[in-house]
């Protein structure tokens, strides 16, 4: 009886220690983790990191960004910290919409582009905005904006509209994980 129990425990233990291949990350994707450990996400490799000292009203620091390309599609992620209280003293749902839409209607007039998704979203309880715009060839620009305390996160990806392209875009947009929940 003891031998049977030990074999069963050994089998369970060995199954727990075997890496799960389904969750392994393919070599053509990489994980990006913030230096302050406040976020992580996945994007096609190699992702080039840049910083810009652009200062807009309310910015407390530089803009930090990662960008990569895959099959002529663009994957872009950036964040910028704002002055303490910048967002908490305002309506973050409205701010997320304004910052998420930005100049989209000027750059993508509704007469020529279809707004496939244009709505408020949340990520781990934080306010955000989703904007997906499609052209006549079914190519898309997909954008996500999130406000977390006094930090603004932005994601942008372009797609050709085919299944492979849309799958990669969705993987990128859904990969963002924050260290903080609301």
Span 146-173, pLDDT tens digits: 999 999 999 999 999 899 999 999 999 9
CB atoms within 10 A of CB 74: 13
Of 1.20.950.20, 3.10.20.30, 3.40.50.300, 3.40.1000.10, the CATH number of 26-178 is 3.40.1000.10
pLDDT score at 59: 85
Q: Is this structure's pTM higher than 0.85?
A: no
Q: Distance between CA atoms of 115 and 141, rounded to whole angstroms?
A: 10
- Is the four-CA dihedral 49, 50, 56, 61 of positive or negative sign? positive
**Tokens 């652009």, located at residue:** 54
CB atoms within 10 A of CB 129: 25
- Both tokens assigned to 146: 């999130």
- Both tokens assigned to 144: 């996500």
pLDDT tens for residues 117-143?
Answer: 999 999 999 999 999 999 999 999 999
The H or E element spanning position 121 is strand 114-123
């Amino acid at each position: 009886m003891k031998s049977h129990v030990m074999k069963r425990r050994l089998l369970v233990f060995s199954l727990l220690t075997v890496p799960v291949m389904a969750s392994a990350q393919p070599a053509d994707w990489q994980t990006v983790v913030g230096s302050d450990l406040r976020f992580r996400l996945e994007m096609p490799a190699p992702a080039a990191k840049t910083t810009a000292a652009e200062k807009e009203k309310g910015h407390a620091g530089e803009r930090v960004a990662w960008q990569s390309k895959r099959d002529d599609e663009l994957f872009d992620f950036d964040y910028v910290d704002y002055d303490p209280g910048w967002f908490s003293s305002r309506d973050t749902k409205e701010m997320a919409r304004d910052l998420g839409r930005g100049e989209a209607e000027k750059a993508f007039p509704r007469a020529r582009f279809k707004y496939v998704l244009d709505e408020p979203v949340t990520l781990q309880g934080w306010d955000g905005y989703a904007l997906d715009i499609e052209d006549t060839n079914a190519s898309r620009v997909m954008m996500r904006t999130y406000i977390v305390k006094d930090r603004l996160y932005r994601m942008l990806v372009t797609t050709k509209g085919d299944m492979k392209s849309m799958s990669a875009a969705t993987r990128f947009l859904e990969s963002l994980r924050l260290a903080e929940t609301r």
